[in-house]
Chain A
Amino acid sequence: MNGTVGASGLILNEPLLWEKGRKGRRGMSMVESGVPPAPIDAGLCDEGPDFPDLSEIDVIRHYTRLSQWNFGIDSGMYPLGSCTMKYNPKINERMAATPEIACAHPMLDDASSQGVLRIMFELQQFLAVITGMDAVSLQPSAGAQGELAGMLIFAAWFRSRGEKRTKILIPDTAHGTNPASAALCGFTPVPLKSGDDGRLAVETVAALMDGETAGIMLTNPNTLGIFESNIRAIAEAVHARGGLVYGDGANMNAIMGIADPRKCGVDVLHLNLHKTFSTPHGGGGPGAGPVCVVQALEQFLPAPRVIRDDSGYRLADGGPSSIGRLHAFHGNFSVLVRAWSYIRSMGPEDLKKASQLAVLNANYVKERLKGTLHLPYDQPSLHECVFSDQFQHDHGIRTLDMAKRLIDYGYHPPTVYFPLVVPGAIMIEPTETECRDDLDQFVEAFKAVVQEAADTPDLLLQAPVRAKLRRLDETRAARHPCLCG
């Protein structure tokens, strides 16, 4: 492993919060009210929660040590397919933390809130023109809630037309959230098989699309990184039977300024701002999943949205057709500010270039690893590529073992075992913010792991050995859940 980025440093142990501290310590300044204590009904009161009492330095060391057990994009390459772990610009953090923005109260009038409303208004417009759609709601808090919004819009559309549709078509390459979101809205998912070329065929869709089917949910480019080149004909087949087309825009980062979802025939599309527009994933969130629609569906969007008139920017309530609110206020506003800041920093040319370079990087890695790893769909692909562990089976090595060994080399593993259409999938998405040197180093590391799989498979079966912990017992965690200390 000489010359690789993976090395072990001094990692410090740290107990759980409540295993340290001492009653009476404080980690923050306390305020004296300066007014006399007011009487209170003791019967309603309690002694308060059993939290540990810690000093400021106790808290600082605790979380600093925890953070050092974590790997982020700022630490190194994070080629998780379908997750788009691109660099999260620091200036975006500063924009979101601007004091006047961070203290904006959402229950005050529009006149007090012109600045934050302007950011929302501009972002609505930017997302509309990037996707080719007519109208945007920023309210959904994450991609899955954006999908839910989309399915609620489907349900509302058919309700408004007095139609009862109960099914929805979902390809086998879809994200798991698709069927769950559809089911919440009363649609039974009908699975669609993609073809041997990793694409959906028009005939497959046309055969199942009937008057009881609300439409189709599809991801384009799909989770194999392949552009659904039949999409226009598929959309026509769906529209011909009165259905709607939902586009999961999770992979918009591959096609900004290159493909136009509107022209593809998409009626509703959600975006993941934490993927395409560089906002940080925060170890699981907050995300943002704006939903974009064509004009005929605008009336159904979640409300309120921001409009602009002679008096400036203001929040407009939805009409009677709106699916209503999905968030107490306006979604994860501070995430919206970061995405706005990214788009303002990139401009039209670099947004397009980001997509081009994301695709170049993925194709470069695919080309350099093909032969080393099995490539089940050797098709032109865009921002990500999917390999499998088939070549390693003879050595008793599986995808998981290679993934764990990559950790020792200093890389976050790719997405594994997804999409489900590829057994033992290894899904690599380098993103545009990795340079060629780093891609080369990653490829060499992966090749070294594959060589070890043949020569010294035990190294992989035992991996990781350089992380703070070895492999964790997930069976034990699930059999006897300990969720609370």
Chain B
Amino acid sequence: MKELSELEFPETVRYTEDHEWAAVDGETVRIGVSDYAQDQLGDIVYVEMPEVGDIFEKGDEFGTLESVKAVSEIYMPVGGEVVAVNEALIDTPEMINQDPYGAWIVEIRPNDAGEYEELMSAEDYLDMLRG
């Protein structure tokens, strides 16, 4: 596992306490997991994703990431309806290890834009990780 200084936390996305990130892209929000999360989990071998049309509240579990010997649930940073899932992750889950901010998991249409604003900035998230 890497030191925090070796990990990347871009300021273009917002973060949750459970290590998801969210990025606004026009009308929709893309969601993935942070560099810290992928590093903790190690080689990701499988991503369990919801279906397009599924509706979640903020904080709901919407899928899981699996490494060889661990399973980690992933939670919605903001509530909304799933409009797309990243099908490429089915065959190449390692994309999350290689490019955690490029490898989005789901794209949703948010219910409430205010929920995004409540998420942590890169600086706040890093402070949280430093404890």
Contacts and interface: CB of A to CB of B under 8 A. Distances in A.
The answer to whether A and B come from one shared complex is: yes
Interface of A: 474-475, 478-479
Nearest to A475: B43
A360 to B, nearest CB: 34
B3 to A, nearest CB: 14
Contacts of B93: 479
A475 B43 CA distance: 7
A423 B48 CA distance: 27
14 contacts: A474-B68, A475-B43, A475-B45, A475-B67, A475-B68, A478-B45, A478-B46, A478-B66, A478-B68, A479-B43, A479-B45, A479-B46, A479-B93, A479-B94
Interface residues of B, number: 8
A475 B94 CA distance: 10
Interface of B: 43, 45-46, 66-68, 93-94
A479 B90 CA distance: 9
Contacts of A474: 68
A163 B103 CA distance: 49
A478 B67 CA distance: 8
A96 B43 CA distance: 46
Which 7 pairs show the lowest CB-CB distances between chains A and B?
A478-B45, A475-B43, A479-B45, A474-B68, A478-B68, A475-B68, A475-B45
Residue of B43, B46, B93 ringed by the most chain A CB atoms within 10 A: B43
A404 to B, nearest CB: 16
Nearest to B46: A478
Contacts of A475: 43, 45, 67-68
Nearest to B94: A479
B64 to A, nearest CB: 14
A322 B67 CA distance: 41
A361 B100 CA distance: 49
Residue of B46, B68, B93 ringed by the most chain A CB atoms within 10 A: B68
A421 to B, nearest CB: 16
B1 to A, nearest CB: 11
A474 B69 CA distance: 10
Contacts of A478: 45-46, 66, 68
Residue of B45, B66, B67, B93 ringed by the most chain A CB atoms within 10 A: B45
Nearest to B93: A479
A474 B68 CA distance: 7
A479 B66 CA distance: 10
A11 to B, nearest CB: 27
Given A475-B43, A475-B45, A478-B68, 5 more contacts: A474-B68, A475-B67, A478-B66, A479-B43, A479-B94
A2 to B, nearest CB: 35
Contacts of B46: 478-479
A474 B46 CA distance: 13
Contacts of B43: 475, 479
A17 to B, nearest CB: 27
Contacts of B68: 474-475, 478
